[in-house]
């Protein structure tokens, strides 16, 4: 069963088309050791097709000229937009960030990957994920959070993803870490999931549902597949309610985030909270974690500033984000 309120407005899925494109672009690169190794094993013509398909929504489009019709056209192709964004960005993410594609909070002298794992543990703990539970990871990337939460809790986790390459990477990593019995990764559009109603004991999403055309649509689907009494936990990308659509600078920042991250339509915090409630959920807790008084800002790994280095490991994190490190990745 698919939520009837959104199904008529969604992109038609074509898994065979996507599989053929994945083979043409990525070939066997999903088995490569890491992001850099995989970057140089792509099909050139397919890669160019992904570039063209993605940037048709952004090239020569400025915030001051953008029309509601252009935003609607981009939102209508939300699945294709996201799929091609990750066809192009996945290897770079792995090279520059790791296998968990999300931000996190940082404590003083805390290693980068420890902070990433702690952020995932915190969400699993808040949700109440326990051993043996059947859990859905909505927009699972290459499976970094799923593997960490599976090891932390003992739960059985299904990762949902609309990008074939990421599914191959996630499956490969799960096998390498001996987690194939606990984890499985399936192809699908999270706006029209193929799972029956009441399928999962818990659901989480980590900086993934921002790719949805509407938050109410994705949250309603999650509510449908979650068992009664189950808990959904989400780290969501939202603009603060200070966003003013009449302010050109605000619109420029929003458009820059959308283009840089494959997002068809960024929403405000108030819109996200309304979508949760309108989807049938009871709100148990919400907060802006960026407002916590942490010793280091959540964005420091992106800054490329040497002043944030606290350990030997941080040197490599920072260097990858300097102008020199980014040039190596692009070049």
Q: Please give the average per-residue pLDDT across 284-297, as a whole number.
A: 93
d(CA 77, CA 283): 30
Q: Which residue has the higher pLDDT, 304 or 40?
A: 40
- pLDDT at residue 7, rounded to an integer: 57
CB 286 within 8 A of CB 105: no
Is 112 within a domain?
A: no
| Residue whose token pair is 């960026």 | 290
Mean local confidence (pLDDT), 217-226 = 99
> Looking at the predicted structure, is the pLDDT value of residue 64 above 60?
yes
Residues 152 and 182 in one domain: yes
Instruction: Give 8 or 147, the one with higher predicted confidence.
Output: 147
Higher pLDDT, 325 or 115: 115
Task: Looking at the structure, tell me whether residues 282 and 304 fall in a common domain.
Answer: no
Q: Are residues 127 and 239 in the same domain?
A: yes
In a shared domain, residues 203 and 245: yes
Query: Phi, psi at residue 201, to the nearest 5°?
Result: -75, -30
Looking at per-residue pLDDT, the higher value among 243 and 61 belongs to 243
Instruction: Give the domain range for residue 265.
Output: 118-291
pLDDT band for 4, please (50, 70, 90 cuts): very low
Q: Tell whether 48 is covered by a domain.
A: yes
Segment of 34-38, 279-283, 310-314, 320-324 carrying the highest mean pLDDT: 279-283
Indicate the number of domains in the chain: 2
Structure tokens at 292: 């916590």
Q: Same structural domain for residues 138 and 93? A: no
Say whether both 287 and 306 belong to one domain.
no
Residue 25 lies in a domain: yes
User: Among 39-53, 72-86, 176-190, 236-250, which is the least confidently predicted range?
Assistant: 39-53
So what's the pLDDT on residue 319? Answer: 67
Interval 120-147: pLDDT, tens = 999 999 999 999 999 999 999 999 999 9
221 burial level (CB within 10 Å; 0-12, 13-18, 19+): buried
For residue 231, what are the β-bridge partners? 202
Confidence class of residue 207 from pLDDT cuts 50, 70 and 90? Answer: very high
Q: Is residue 40 part of a domain?
A: yes
Is 275 part of a structural domain of the chain? yes
**pLDDT at res. 306:** 73
Same-domain status, 154 and 125 = yes
Give the mean pLDDT of 189-215: 99
> Are 150 and 256 within one domain?
yes
Q: Which residue has the higher pLDDT, 329 or 116?
A: 116
User: How confident is the model at residue 147, as a pLDDT?
Assistant: 99
CB 98 within 8 A of CB 122: no
Looking at the structure, do residues 149 and 286 belong to the same domain, yes or no? yes
Q: Which residues pair with 296 in a beta bridge?
A: 106
Statement: residue 304 has pLDDT above 90: no
Strand order in the sheet with 156-161: 183-187, 156-161, 134-138, 200-206, 226-235
Residue 7 lies in a domain: no
141 & 35 share domain: no
Render pLDDT for 179-193 as a digit per residue (tens, 0 to 9): 999 999 999 999 999
- Domain membership flag for residue 4: no
d(CA 5, CA 197): 15
Does 285 have pLDDT greater than 60?
Answer: yes
In this structure, the answer to whether residues 304 and 209 fall within a common structural domain is no
For residue 55, list its beta bridge partners. none
DSSP string over 42-86: --HHHHHHHHHHHHTTTTT--TTT--HHHHHHHHHTHHHHHHHHH
CATH code at 186?
A: 3.40.50.150
pLDDT band for position 305 (cuts 50, 70, 90): confident
């Amino acid at each position: 069963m698919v939520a009837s309120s959104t199904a008529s407005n969604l992109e038609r899925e074509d898994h065979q088309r996507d599989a053929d494109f994945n083979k043409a672009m990525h070939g066997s690169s999903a088995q490569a050791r890491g992001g850099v190794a995989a970057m140089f094993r792509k099909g050139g013509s397919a890669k160019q097709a992904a570039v063209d398909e993605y940037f048709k929504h952004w090239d020569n489009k400025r915030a001051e000229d953008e029309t509601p019709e252009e935003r609607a056209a981009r939102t209508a192709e939300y699945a294709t937009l996201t799929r091609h964004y990750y066809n192009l960005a996945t290897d770079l993410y792995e090279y520059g960030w790791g296998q968990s594609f999300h931000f996190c909070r940082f404590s003083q002298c805390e290693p980068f990957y420890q902070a990433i794992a702690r952020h995932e543990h915190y969400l699993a703990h808040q949700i109440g994920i326990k051993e043996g539970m059947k859990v859905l990871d909505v927009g699972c990337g290459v499976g970094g959070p799923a593997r960490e939460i599976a090891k932390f809790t003992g739960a059985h986790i299904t990762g949902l993803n609309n990008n074939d390459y990421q599914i191959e990477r996630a499956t490969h990593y799960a096998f390498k870490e001996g987690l194939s019995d606990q984890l499985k990764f399936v192809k699908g559009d999270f706006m029209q999931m193929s799972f029956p109603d009441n399928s999962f004991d818990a659901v989480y999403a980590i900086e993934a549902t921002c790719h949805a055309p509407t938050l109410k649509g994705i949250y309603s689907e999650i509510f449908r597949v979650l068992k009664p009494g189950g808990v959904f936990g989400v780290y969501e990308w939202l603009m603060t309610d200070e966003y003013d659509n009449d302010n050109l600078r605000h619109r420029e920042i929003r458009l820059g985030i959308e283009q840089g991250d494959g997002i068809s339509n960024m929403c405000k915090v108030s819109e996200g909270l309304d979508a949760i409630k309108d989807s049938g959920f009871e709100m148990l807790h919400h907060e802006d974690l960026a407002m916590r008084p942490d010793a280091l800002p959540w964005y420091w790994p992106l800054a490329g500033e040497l002043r944030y280095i606290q350990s030997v490991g941080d040197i490599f994190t920072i260097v990858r984000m300097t102008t020199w490190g980014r040039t190596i990745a692009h070049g």
